[in-house]
Chain A
């Protein structure tokens, strides 16, 4: 039998394992008390006023977050609502959605038609020699 004797070490292990829960809790409490008494440990201890200060800071941050995440403006909400309504109307109608699909050729043609229409209108106004403003008293 020596200090490294397996029987002896097994005996000590059994003794350690057999310690009651109460003893282990009290040893843990003693250890914590000892660490709290250490001046170096106390330097890193959280002061008592930090809890309310932390709660206040968290509340302020939460308030800022809520304010920042609020709806931007009524106008943009209305515009978004309007587009949703238009989309719903389109879907509800019996027209082929393909009609509204983006077609570059159709767009170019419609632009040219629109341009010609404007030209006609402006020429008509020039020929008649009066503008809608002038006709008014």
Chain B
């Protein structure tokens, strides 16, 4: 009998993988996905914990090959919930005359790199983070699910609740945007 294996991120996922091993294999990627989407470490940790809990409580008896799309689907929904909650909070907390859109979405980082920053890898990573955070939500989702979490196009479509063609479009546009913004770092 041929064993089915699948690459999720950098981890080979076996069909007989235990839930504990699966959660361990995805926890870092999931956290990075959530942090880049929510731009807040605490919110990201909460989202990952909620996703892990829900998968363990409700979907642990599913075949292990289904865990990755299910887990990222749950995580995505949780991220959207937190984003909406934060958006509402910003609207209520914003002083009159200033809308939530006027506020920077994350800590401001200069968008004009100087020569020193070009050769600094930390700066390059910061610039990459910034560029990913600036992507539109759907493009960022497609980009993170495909490149970081290692899902294929069909699984990404399932997680995002859209068509395969739509995933390809979002992903292509995300890559174009990143390539443009990071042309000085990534030839």
Contact = CB atoms under 8 A, between A and B. Distances in A.
Interface string B16-42: 000110011001110110000000010
Contact of B147 (A12, A19, A37, A41): A12
Contact of A35 (B20, B28, B147, B178): B20
Interface string A21-57: 0011011101101110111110000000000000000
Interface of A: 1-3, 5, 7-9, 11-16, 18-19, 23-24, 26-28, 30-31, 33-35, 37-41
B148 A37 contact: no
Interface stretch (B50-58, B76-84, B98-106, B110-118): B50-58
Contact of B29 (A7, A11, A16, A23): A16
Residue among A9, A27, A40 with the highest chain B CB neighbour number at 10 A: A27
> A-B pairs with the 7 shortest C-beta distances?
A34-B52, A30-B49, A34-B56, A38-B56, A3-B147, A27-B27, A3-B146
Contacts of A39: 57, 60
Task: Describe B's contact surface by its main secondary structure.
Answer: helix
A31 B24 contact: yes
Contacts of A15: 32, 125
B7 to A, nearest CB: 10
Give the interface residue-count category, chain B. 20 to 34
Contact of B56 (A3, A18, A37): A37
B160 to A, nearest CB: 15
Given A23-B31, A37-B53, 8 more contacts: A3-B146, A3-B150, A8-B147, A11-B125, A26-B45, A34-B23, A34-B52, A40-B60
